[in-house]
């Protein structure tokens, strides 16, 4: 029984590679992990909200009381850095009212209590711009490559509008299982290849995003660009903004951080400048440990189908180029005043540990670790405003120094963000002088927390070409996954800010600051903090597991505390549901992470409260007291980091949306009992797709 196995999905060179190999050694010449063209850092501006990233325009008349957005999913091209040889081929959502595409656009701006709808038309070409692994469920048996579905991440929506994996549709879809998945119940009668999504918008102010969730293609569709912002406003945050406590929209900057790799040479999928994504499972094998991932004997339940085929999925993808708001290594010009900075980690798998440093005067483009920049005041996360502000003063930094590039996932760390996590910040630049430059710096290991030096690109790093990595990075240029963005301080325009760091923190900490905002965001809407000691609360054990699939590849799976397959708690997404509850059930889940990676677990339908975490030796038995989570995990969350060797305790209430203008049918899928079908899954996209996701079924 693998109760406490700590195998890392992409472990360090010294720790793995010789166990369970089933293939012949791969020669170094066979390594194909590509590196991007060398790009100059900080030569192009950050795309801004409303210009670089367009805001969707709503049709407010067609459906009374509803903001309607008519979007098309299309292929288009956009230059993501001036030094790239070509504009990059992308997939994305296009606002039909403008007919223009732009990366991460159009952002939808919504108001709490006013529903919105998306009518989406699938106009994607038949050939995917990225390598499709046809061994994955959903992408197999000749499935179309241009399947899509939209999930509003963070929206608490009726399940037929939740964009679950089985609700995908093609450009010719006419109904469930007719050019679409079994759960495609939101088609538009008489309009093939289109779907409509209804969002009640009954959540407090926060940054959400809508992105693809099609079975077998999610990781590729999102990487190709099918992901956009969705900004929720409410009266609470509006009041704080009107009062001048939260900076106004003119001084609000979204930062959607992703990592991408770009082709330097043409291949069968595209030309130089196009997105690169791995095609080969570079397995570690006896005598050659330069592969990136373990190969093993298929775990129980997986027939042995021989070594991985190409193209193959990979356990996780860490690209070499940070892209923010669709621009590689951008700069942001900021005045000496406060800004609201709203961050989303939209990466496939990469975590970020964020700090601001002044730029090194003698090494342009690099941080001066002795000069921390302005502090971050975090006022919100993906669950809305926090009950109290959290300050990040620079340092601490992680700066991996261990030979294997690892860190302690339990901290200390700075503003640490796993994929899909958000942070709503206020940063006061008023202590800076025009001409000052700052570096937004990341030093989270990848994978987190184990690290692999080949995924950590920084100036002067060792030449890792002998082990399938990149040459040393030269100053001022990429690849560099540590120096994400430069901030150039410019002269103040208009009146100076009336608040600075200290007075902002003071007012946020006062009773009428965030404590009141947190209360007003939830209590009038019946969203009380959940009590684990209340009557009828269900306590259950869940597990996060790592096994080997039919091709000997690493596979991540969710499970319960009981075994379906010998030797692992892991269950496949397609296995019979184990999370089935009546409407309005409150549950406490103890989620044991038996793997070597931290997993950001994401919950559809509900927000959760994190009660704490504890170490363990045996699943089912915490080996110590539960320690409260990081302070920016207070309040509500919907994506929660769960560290290896720890059990994380969350509490949540599964309440189906109410007050809908239409009846919601049950799931037609066999074994789903006619329930309303949601999912919970890891938001490392390569984990989610293979196969770290389970149904979440609520009986109406």
Q: Which residue is nearest to Cu ion (CB)?
A: 682
Q: Sketch the per residue contact string, 59 through 98, with Cu ion: x for CB under 5 A, - otherwise.
A: ----------------------------------------
Question: Is residue 107 involved in binding Cu ion (CB under 5 A)?
Answer: no
Least Å distance between CB 474 and Cu ion?
33
Question: Is residue 669 involved in binding Cu ion (CB under 5 A)?
Answer: no
Cis peptide before 574 (omega within 30 of 0): no
Question: Is residue 599 involved in binding Cu ion (CB under 5 A)?
Answer: yes
**Smaller CB distance to Cu ion: residue 206 or 599?**
599
CB atoms within 10 A of CB 355: 28
How far, in Å, CA of 16 to CA of 6, rounded?
11
How far, in Å, CA of 667 to CA of 184, rounded?
10
**Smaller CB distance to Cu ion: residue 107 or 558?**
558
Question: Is residue 255 involved in binding Cu ion (CB under 5 A)?
Answer: no
**Smaller CB distance to Cu ion: residue 385 or 420?**
420
How far, in Å, CA of 589 to CA of 608, rounded?
10
Alpha helix ranges (H) inside 487-588: 501-509, 514-522
The interface region with Cu ion, picked from 206-214, 263-271, 292-300, 687-695 by CB under 5 A, is 687-695
Tokens for 308, please give them. 């991985």
Least Å distance between CB 616 and Cu ion?
18
CB-CB contact of 377 with 429 (8 Å): no
**Smaller CB distance to Cu ion: residue 521 or 545?**
545
Among 11, 344, 650, 684, binds Cu ion (CB under 5 A): 684
Least Å distance between CB 165 and Cu ion?
16
The interface region with Cu ion, picked from 279-287, 371-379, 518-526, 593-601 by CB under 5 A, is 593-601
Question: Is residue 690 involved in binding Cu ion (CB under 5 A)?
Answer: no
CB-CB contact of 101 with 76 (8 Å): yes
The interface region with Cu ion, picked from 80-88, 138-146, 665-673, 681-689 by CB under 5 A, is 681-689
Question: Is residue 128 involved in binding Cu ion (CB under 5 A)?
Answer: no
CB-CB contact of 213 with 151 (8 Å): yes
Size of the site for Cu ion (CB under 5 A): 4
Among 437, 454, 687, 694, binds Cu ion (CB under 5 A): 687
The interface region with Cu ion, picked from 366-374, 533-541, 599-607, 623-631 by CB under 5 A, is 599-607
525 sits in which H/E element: none
Residue-wise burial string across 283-321, b where 16 or more C-beta atoms lie within 10 A, e elsewhere: bbbeebbbbbbbbbebbebbeeeebbeebbbbbbbbbbb
**Smaller CB distance to Cu ion: residue 185 or 685?**
685
Please classify residue 379 by burial: count the beta carbons closer than 10 Å to its beta carbon, then call 0-12 exposed, 13-18 middle and 19+ buried: buried
Question: Is residue 350 involved in binding Cu ion (CB under 5 A)?
Answer: no
CB atoms within 10 A of CB 528: 9
The interface region with Cu ion, picked from 333-341, 462-470, 594-602, 669-677 by CB under 5 A, is 594-602
Strands 227-233 and 108-111: parallel
Among 682, 685, 696, 698, binds Cu ion (CB under 5 A): 682
CA 87 to each of CA 97, 107, 229, 279, 461: distance values in angstroms, whole numbers, following the listed order? 24, 22, 22, 22, 29
* Tokens 């080997």, located at residue: 548
Binding site for Cu ion (CB under 5 A): 599, 682, 684, 687
């Amino acid at each position: 029984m693998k109760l406490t196995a700590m195998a890392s999905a992409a472990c360090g060179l010294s720790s793995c590679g010789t166990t369970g190999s089933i293939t012949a050694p791969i020669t170094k010449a066979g390594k194909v992990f590509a590196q991007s063209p060398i790009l100059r850092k900080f030569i192009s501006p950050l795309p801004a909200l409303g210009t670089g990233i367009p805001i969707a325009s709503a049709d407010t008349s067609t459906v009374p009381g509803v903001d309607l957005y008519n979007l098309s999913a299309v292929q288009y091209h956009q230059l993501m850095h001036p030094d790239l040889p070509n504009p990059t081929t992308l997939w994305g959502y296009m606002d039909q009212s403008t007919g223009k595409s732009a990366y991460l656009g159009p952002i939808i701006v919504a108001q709490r209590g006013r529903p919105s709808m998306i009518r989406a038309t699938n106009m994607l070409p038949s050939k995917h711009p990225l390598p499709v692994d046809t061994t994955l469920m959903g992408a197999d048996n000749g499935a179309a490559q241009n399947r899509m579905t939209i999930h509003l991440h963070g929206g608490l929506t009726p399940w037929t509008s939740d964009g679950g994996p089985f609700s995908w549709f093609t450009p010719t879809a006419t109904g469930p299982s007719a050019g679409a998945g079994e759960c495609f119940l939101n088609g538009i009668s008489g309009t093939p290849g289109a779907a409509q999504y209804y969002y009640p918008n009954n959540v407090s102010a926060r940054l959400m995003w809508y992105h693809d969730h099609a079975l077998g293609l999610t990781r590729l569709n999102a990487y190709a660009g099918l992901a956009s912002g969705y900004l929720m406003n409410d009266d609470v945050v509006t009041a704080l903004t009107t009062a001048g406590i939260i900076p106004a929209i003119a001084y609000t900057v979204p930062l959607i951080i992703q990592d991408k790799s770009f082709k330097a040479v043409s291949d069968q999928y595209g030309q130089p400048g196009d997105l690169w994504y791995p095609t080969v499972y570079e397995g570690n094998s006896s005598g050659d440990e330069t592969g990136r991932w373990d190969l093993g004997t298929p775990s129980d339940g997986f027939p042995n189908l021989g070594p991985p085929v190409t193209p193959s999925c990979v356990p996780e993808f860490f690209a070499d180029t940070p892209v923010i708001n669709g621009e590689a290594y951008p700069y942001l010009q900021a005045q000496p005043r406060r800004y609201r900075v709203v961050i989303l980690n939209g990466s496939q798998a990469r975590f970020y540990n964020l700090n601001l440093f002044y730029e090194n005067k003698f090494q342009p483009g690099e941080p001066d670790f002795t000069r921390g920049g302005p502090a971050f005041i975090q006022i919100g996360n993906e669950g809305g405003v926090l009950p109290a502000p959290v300050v990040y003063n620079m340092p601490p930094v992680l700066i991996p120094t261990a030979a294997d590039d690892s860190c302690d996932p339990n901290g200390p760390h700075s503003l640490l963000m796993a994929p899909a996590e958000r942070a709503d910040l206020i940063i006061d630049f008023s202590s800076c002088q025009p001409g000052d430059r700052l570096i937004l710096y990341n030093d989270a290991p990848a994978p987190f927390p184990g690290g692999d030096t080949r995924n950590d690109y920084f100036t002067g790093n060792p030449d890792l070409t002998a082990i399938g990595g990149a040459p040393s990075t030269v100053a001022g240029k990429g690849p560099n996954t540590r120096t994400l963005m430069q901030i150039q301080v410019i002269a103040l325009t208009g009146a100076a800010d009336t608040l600075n760091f200290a007075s902002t923190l003071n007012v946020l900490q006062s009773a009428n600051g965030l404590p009141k905002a947190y209360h007003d965001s939830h209590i009038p809407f019946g969203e009380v903090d959940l009590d684990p000691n209340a009557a009828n609360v269900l306590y259950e054990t869940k597990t996060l597991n790592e096994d080997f699939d039919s091709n000997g590849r690493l596979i991540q799976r969710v499970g319960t505390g009981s075994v379906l397959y010998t030797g692992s708690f892991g269950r496949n997404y397609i296995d019979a549901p184990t999370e089935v509850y009546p409407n309005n059930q409150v549950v406490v889940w103890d989620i044991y992470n038996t793997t070597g990676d931290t997993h950001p677990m994401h919950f559809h339908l509900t927000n959760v409260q994190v009660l704490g975490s504890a170490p363990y030796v045996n699943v089912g038995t915490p080996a110590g007291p539960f320690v409260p989570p990081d302070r920016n995990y207070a309040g509500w969350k919907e994506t929660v980091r769960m560290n290896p060797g720890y059990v994380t305790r969350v509490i949540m209430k599964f309440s189906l949306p109410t007050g809908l203008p239409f009846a919601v049918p049950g799931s037609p899928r066999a074994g789903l009992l006619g329930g309303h079908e949601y999912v919970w899954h890891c938001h490392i996209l390569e984990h989610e797709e293979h196969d770290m996701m389970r149904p979440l079924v609520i009986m109406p």
